[in-house]
Amino acid sequence: AFIPLAYTKGIMGKILRVLPIVVVSVLSISLVEALLILPAHLSFGNPARRGLVRRFTDRINQWTDRKLRAFVNGPFARFVERAVRWRYVTLAFGVMIFLAAVGFLLGGYIKFVFFDAVEADNMVALLTMPQGTPVEQTRAIIERIEQAAREVVAEYERGRSGQPPLMKHISVTVGAQPIVGRSGPVQVDMGQIAQSHLGEVNVEPLGGEVRDVSSVEMKNAWRERVGDIAGASSLEYYSEFLDLGKAVEVELSHEDFDTLLLASEELKTILSNYAGVSDIADDFEPGKSELKLTLKDTGRTLGLTLSDLARQVRQGFYGDEAQRIQRGRDDIRVMVRYPRRERCSVADVENMRIRLPDGTEIPFGTVAAVEYGRGYATIKRVDRRRVVSVSADVDEAVANAREINAELYAAVLPRLASEFPGLQFRPAGEERERNESLSSLW
């Protein structure tokens, strides 16, 4: 019964593998005890040499033996005789119980949770704004999240007179997320480079052994108090010690990236209509604002390449090293570039002159075009296709993640694929771990 757990795959397999090792070992030793050692313990010696305690326990054993034999040979024997006499009724009754049990499962009356949340002694809010967001704007939002956390803790403090304060510490970070992990806030990475669009609020309440309030309950109240943050790429809350991934996570892929983004936005809108679903986000993060240069056919005809165009723009606005001067232990670089007043706007790029291979100069607009836009912070591919993951968290007290996933893959995602031809999808996060672990048990 327990050995199959040793062959479970995925993260759950690593957690469950210790159970069959211990249980099978204990049961094996128990079998030796029951067959070889216990009979010697129960054997009767000379009654005259038994002590008072032994004679007392013997009376208890004899009384128990009489009662058990009376039950076996009396009511239980009569019940078995009737069950055999009315064997078809007995069989029908057994089938009825089996069908009722299956009906409770298939009817959704018995919920299934793959791995229940284990509460941690921290509540963490991770804020991600679009890249290039000023640090002042990120700080203002983080302060709002911090204030909401203090208000929620103060609400739960009421009526706890004579007990230690519910909150021990609160840590606020702007420019980084010290506690970051793919499977939840369990991995610490203090070597992050400061980025103005990141922020974190880490609340440490009392330990679970002395706290009479659930950290998950406080986390949900914290999320409701903060509400939606306009312009935020994502705002995620964690209060679990171990997380196998988001309860709902779908990987979408399409050859056309614009279509892929539209499909991901449509899926997020659909998920927002489910009760108990929160922290809906995708892993696509727009990059910083940038100027995109395009070479016209005229420029190619004149022998200009895109590399030449980019190099000349860089030299004019960033600068080109003309020489280096040694000053003590320092190496001073002398850069040549346009004056500050001539490199302040997009119009300055369009007004510059581009040098052709023969040495002549021509206006920028004749050979190239410039467009203001955003790049990509990251590009995620699976099987050489661009992928965007849409994820959400599920409050198991309100909804069931397995039922939501079942409806998504049975009806919602196929309908989305017909709406966006060429769209492909596959499970990720907790659903993928569940499928991998449970399928390996066969």
Q: Model confidence over 112-155: pLDDT tens digits?
A: 777 666 777 888 999 988 888 889 999 999 999 999 999 998 88
Instruction: Name the strand (E) or helix (H) holding 276.
Output: none
Largest CA distance in the chain: 124
Q: What six digits make up the tokens of 211?
A: 């706290």
**What is the rounded average pLDDT of the residues 289-301?**
88
Q: Distance between the two ends of the chain, CA-based, in angstroms? A: 13
Q: Cα–Cα distance between 9 and 2 in angstroms, integer?
A: 15
pLDDT score, position 46: 57
**Which of 89-93, 221-225, 400-404, 425-429 has the largest mean confidence?**
89-93
Phi-psi region of 323 (alpha: psi -120 to 50; beta: other; left: phi over 0): beta
pLDDT score, position 186: 39
Q: What DSSP character marks residue 115?
A: S
**CB distance 246 to 392 below 8 Å:** yes
pTM for the full model? 0.63
The Cβ-side half-sphere exposure at 99, using a 13 Å CA radius, reads 6
**CB distance 211 to 156 below 8 Å:** no
pLDDT above 50 (res 438): yes
Q: Phi and psi of 51, rounded to 5°?
A: -85, 180
Q: What is the residue type of 272?
A: S
Phi-psi region of 255 (alpha: psi -120 to 50; beta: other; left: phi over 0): alpha
Q: Which residues have CB under 8 Å from 277's CB, separation 6+? A: 248, 271, 392, 393, 394, 395, 399, 404
**CB distance 121 to 209 below 8 Å:** no
Q: Cα–Cα distance between 245 and 235 in angstroms, integer?
A: 16
* Whole-number average pLDDT of the chain: 85
**CB distance 191 to 119 below 8 Å:** no
Backbone CA torsion sign across 40, 43, 46, 48: positive
**What is the rounded average pLDDT of the residues 331-356?**
89
pLDDT score, position 24: 94
Other CB atoms within 10 Å distance of the CB of residue 1: 8
**CB distance 356 to 362 below 8 Å:** yes
- Specify the residue for token string 């410039």: 370
Between 9-23, 90-104, 239-253, 405-419, the lowest mean confidence (pLDDT) is in 239-253
- pLDDT tens, residue by residue, 321-343: 999 998 888 889 999 999 988 88
Q: What six digits make up the tokens of 365?
A: 């607009």
